[in-house]
Each structure stands twice: as structure tokens, then as C-alpha cells.
Copies of this chain bind each other. A is one copy, B any other.
Amino acid sequence: MHNRCMIDPRLITLRVFARCGTVGATAELTGYSPSAVSAQLRELQRVLGLQLLTKDGRGVRLTATGRFLVAGSDALIAEWESLRAAAMEAGDQVQSRFGLGGFSTAAAQLLAPLAATLRSTRPLLEVQVLEANPARCFDLLVAERIDLAVIVAMQSDTYAEDDQRFEQTVLLDDPLDVIIPADHPLASRETVTLEELASEPWITEAAGSTYHALFTAAFTAVGVTPRIAHEAVEWETQIAFVGAGLGVGLLPRLAPLHTAENVVRLRITGKGKPTRRIVAAVRRGSIASPLIQESLGILQIRANRILSSRPEDDL
């Protein structure tokens, strides 16, 4: 589906460049080589007769004209997506490719079933799933490598909800639980508040990561500055750290705890009740596409099933 765009691929490349700022990163995202990206951007300028890039130190940056073109192209892309969606609605579309992107747990719990369902209902459809963090998912959407992304929306989101390029649909609010060692004084409790855990040594992800932002946001809400004792990238690692008694951590409800030993999961109560919002994002205009609509439906059903399997008080 995303392959072979009706808009000049060089413009797409320019748009990706506008997002990541370097030729190398653009190459990585688009799947081209750096030389190809360089050549494409040069060609684009030649064809339009406009200077879009300027040398800037050891890199290049967009000129005012370049920024203008990129900004204006949002509407153009959306217009095309919208047209394609409507055309696909009119005459049913036979075959194409469909790229999905998502983040770890989301990918596992939502994207995998979606891909499986699509594969069976639409055998001719070439479904591809890419695991990527939210920021990269947006990049991949712009680069047209994927057509739908399931991502974790954050309060301090660099990609505003009303971004001209995307349309987002809330799938599910996933609460964060606390995981503590089984021999911890609070381990026998059903629920805790963040204040009760303020003095604990915390295990979190590296600063700048998706969940670190959620972590700090949760604690600033209750006015506490927790002590970060350790950092882990994978949930498994974090759980293991907690199991080893190194500290406590936050774990999304969706993340399974099955391999954990000596670790207890507790619901959080009180005003600082952190949740991560899981949303589906598509390129603006493409939301009317029957393929997207079907996918969103499947995702929504899956999300509702997850919600309904939980105790009421968690909703």
C-alpha cells in the first residue's frame, strides 16, 4: 500500500529529511543509501528550480523555501491519501501492501493479532509489521514505510495531537502498575499510592525514553521527586532488577509478568494514577480507507476485549 507513491518520492524524501535533519538518518529511514538521498534532494531542487537546502557546518539544513515547501506539502499528501482512500472505497481494491508499526507490548498484544486477522481475511494483502518506538513510527509514517502505527501517546509529546500530518484514534488507556519485590513490606497490599513509594529506589528507563517521560510526569503530578536507582531498557530486565531487590518500578498493565519470580504487581490509587494512552496513528486523509477502517475496527475490538477482561475499577 505504501509502496510507489503518487507523489514524487523525492518530495517524500525531503519531508523525511525535514523531520530528522541529516541525510544519513533520512537514508536509514527511507531505506535508501545516503548517496541516493543526496542525489534525490539535488534533483528535486533542479527540477523545481528552487534552492531548498544550504550547507550548515558538516551537514545541510533546509532553507526558508525548503521549510515552506515541506509545510505546504502536508496538505498535498493528505489530499492524496484522502483521494486514494475514497477511490478504494468506491472500487474495492484487490491487492497491495500494508505496513504496520508499533512498540513492543503494543505490537505484541495489538499488532500481531491484527496482522494475523488481515492475513486471513485478505490473503492478497502483503502485510508487514515493523517494531519501532513511537517517534520512529511517526517517521516511518512520513516516509511511507508504514501506513498505520500503534503508539504510546505521551503528555509531553513532541508530536502534537493536532499534527497536520497525522490522524490519531485512541484505542485504550493502559494503567501503570507498581512492581515491588515479594519480600517488600507493602507486598501484601492490594493497592498503593505513589506517595507511599516516594522514598523507594526506582528502576526506570533511560532519560529521554518513552517511559521515562511518563514516569516523571506521574510523580510531578503528586509533587514528589523519586530517586532513580537503576535504569533498564527491557521490561524483562526491569522485572529482574525488582526481583533481585534492587528497587521498585512501574509496569504497564499490558506487559505480562509471567516469568517473574519474587515480584508482586500492585494497583496504584490516589491522584497520581499514571496511565499510558495507546493510540493508532495514520497519515492524515488515509483514515477513510477501507483497509484502515477495517484495521482500526479490529484494533478497537481487541482493545475492548482487553479492557473488559479487567476488574471494573480499573476502567
Contact = CB atoms under 8 A, between A and B. Distances in A.
Interface of A: 1, 3-8, 11, 47-51, 63-65, 68-69, 72-73, 75-76, 79-80, 83-84, 86-88, 90-91, 93-96
Contacts of A95: 49
Contacts of A6: 7-8, 11
Given A7-B8, A64-B90, A83 B96 contact: no
A6 B8 CA distance: 5
Contact of A49 (B7, B50, B80, B96): B96
A49 B94 contact: yes
- The 5 A-B pairs of least Cβ separation, nearest first, read A65-B91, A49-B96, A49-B93, A72-B83, A6-B8
Contacts of A5: 8
Contact of A87 (B48, B86, B90): B48
B91 A51 contact: yes
Given A7-B8, A8-B7, A87 B75 contact: no
A94 to B, nearest CB: 5
A50 B1 CA distance: 12
Q: Chain A's interface: helix, strand, loop or mixed, by majority?
A: helix
A68 B48 contact: no
A134 to B, nearest CB: 29
A5 B47 CA distance: 9
Given A8-B7, A95-B49, A76 B79 contact: yes
Contact of A84 (B48, B51, B75, B80): B48
24 contacts: A4-B47, A5-B8, A6-B7, A7-B8, A48-B84, A48-B96, A49-B88, A50-B88, A50-B94, A51-B94, A64-B91, A65-B87, A65-B91, A68-B86, A68-B87, A68-B90, A68-B91, A69-B83, A72-B83, A73-B83, A75-B79, A76-B76, A76-B83, A79-B79
A76 B80 contact: yes
Contacts of A90: 64-65, 68
A244 B49 CA distance: 54
Given A64-B90, A76-B83, 4 more contacts: A49-B96, A68-B87, A73-B83, A76-B79
Contacts of A11: 6
A70 to B, nearest CB: 10
Contacts of A65: 87, 90-91
A189 to B, nearest CB: 55
A159 to B, nearest CB: 23
A215 to B, nearest CB: 42
A73 B5 CA distance: 14
Contact of A69 (B47, B49, B64, B87): B87
A301 to B, nearest CB: 25
A49 B95 CA distance: 5
